[in-house]
Amino acid sequence: MEIQLKLNGRPVRDSIDADTLLIDFVRAHGCASVKRGCETSNCGLCTVLLDGKPVLSCSVLAARADGHEVQTLEGLQAEAEEFVAFIADQGAEQCGFCNPGYVMNTIALLRENPDPTDDEIRAYLAGNLCRCSGYEGQLRGIRAFLSARNQAKEGQDRG
């Protein structure tokens, strides 16, 4: 079948098998950041934004994205760069295989809730597994980013 969608801002048209999964489709179109970690929708590594909302691309048919907009980390580099530097400063990137998935989900979180509490961060990212970091460093990184941003804002407000 023929589908047409916007992938990271670019129009893409392709003919696919009806059972093609979105994860395989975007990877075939150069989005290597999207990773697969399971077959059971349990790991969150494959998170992409479909019309701005995070979805597990391993459990969405590519056909469902027909006529919609899909974003992967390849298309959100600037937005990610802002906060991932703080995670790097914690050394919490570790092997990196889970990173794109939870970075995508963090983008979604921060768009929805720009100033989340630690518990809100944990709850929102609960579906994003990481076997290396023990999660605490990822949280410290996001927290450091939020504090730095809020401090900068306060500074601006005062100045």
Partner 1 sequence: MAELKTVGKPMRKKDAMNLLLGKPAFVEDVTPRDCLVVKVLRSPHAHALIRSIKTDIAMKVPGMVAIFTYKDVPHNRYTNAGQTYPEPSPHDRLILDQRVRFVGDAVAILAGETEKAVDKAMKLIKVDYEVLPAVLDPHTAKDNPILVHPEEDWEALCPVGADNKRNLVASETCGEGDVEDVLAHCDVVVDHVWHTKACQQAMMETFRTYTEIDPYGRLHVVSSTQIVFHVRRILAIALGIPKSKIHVEKPRIGGGFGAKQTSVSEIYPAFVTWKTGRAARIVYTRQECQIAGSPRHEMEVHVRLGADKNGKIRALDVYTLSNSGAYSEHGPTTVGLSGHKSIPLYTGSLEAFRFAYDVVYTNVQAAGAYRGYGATQGIFAVESAVNELADRLGIDPVRLREQNMVREGMIMPAYYNEPANACALDRCMARCKELFHWDEKFPVRDMGNGKVRAAGVAMAMQGSGISGVDVGSATVKLSDDGSYNLIIGAADMGTGCDTILAQMVAECMDCDLDNVEVFGADSDASPYDSGSYASSTTYVTGKAVEKACEQLKGQLCTLAAESLGCTSADLEFTGKAVRRCDGTGEISLADLAIKSQCSNNTAVQATASHSSPVSPPPFMVGMVEIELDKETGSVTVLDYKAVVDCGTPINPNLARVQTEGGIVQGIGMALYENVTYSDKGRILEDSLMQYKIPTRLDMGHLQVEFESSYEPTGPFGAKSIGEIVINTPSPALAQAVYRASGVWVRKLPITPEKILLGMRANGQ
Would you tell me which residues interact with ligand FES (CB under 6 A)?
36-38, 41-46, 56, 58, 94-98, 130-133
Residue 56's H or E segment, with its range, is strand 53-56
Nearest-approach distance from CB 121 to partner 1, in angstroms:
8
Nearest-approach distance from CB 54 to partner 1, in angstroms:
15
Sequence letter at residue 155? G
In the complex, the residues that contact partner 1 under the rule CB under 8 A are 17, 28, 32-35, 37-40, 42-43, 45, 72-74, 77, 80-81, 84-85, 87-100, 103, 122-123, 125-139
- Residue 85: name the closest of 75, 95, 99, 70 by CA: 99
143 binds, among partner 1, ligand FES, none (CB under 5 to 8 A by kind): none
Q: Cα separation of 131 and 118, whole Å?
A: 20
- Residue 126: name the closest of 10, 47, 39, 19 by CA: 47
